Structure 1
Amino acid sequence: MTLYPPPSFQDGLTPSLLYATRQTVSSQKVHRSIHRHDGIVELLFVYQGEGTYIVDGYSYSIRPGDLLLYNQGDLHEVSSASEHEIGTFCFGISGLSLNGLTPGQMTTPENGFVRPAGARHAEIHALCKLIYEHMEQNTAHAHEIANRLLPALVLLSLDFPADERSGQQQADLILSNRIRQYIAVHFAEPLTLAGLGSLLHVSPYYLAHVFKRITGFSPIQYMIRCRIGEAQNLLITTDYSAAQIAAMVGYNGAGHFNAIFTKTVGLPPIRYRREYLARMQGRRGQ
Structure 2
Amino acid sequence: MYISTIYWIKHQRNIYFKFSNNWNWGSGMLYLYGVYFDDFIPMWYSTEATLNCHLAVIVTQGKVIYTLNGQPNKAEAGEVLIIPKGTKRSAENDESGPHQKFTVLFDYEATGSMYIPILERDEVLKMHIRSFDYLISRCLQLYYGFKEEGEINRLLCLNQLHEIMLLISKEAEMEGASPTKMMLAKKMQKYLVERYRQHVEISDLAKLINRSPNYTSSLFKEVTGQSPMQFVARLRLLEARRLLLQSDMTVSEIAQYLGFYDTSHFFRLFRKAMSITPSEFRARNILED
TM-score, length-normalised on structure 1? 0.48
Q: Greater RCO between the two (CA within 8 Å, min separation 6)?
A: 1
TM-score, length-normalised on structure 2? 0.48
- Structure with a larger share of its residues in strand: 2
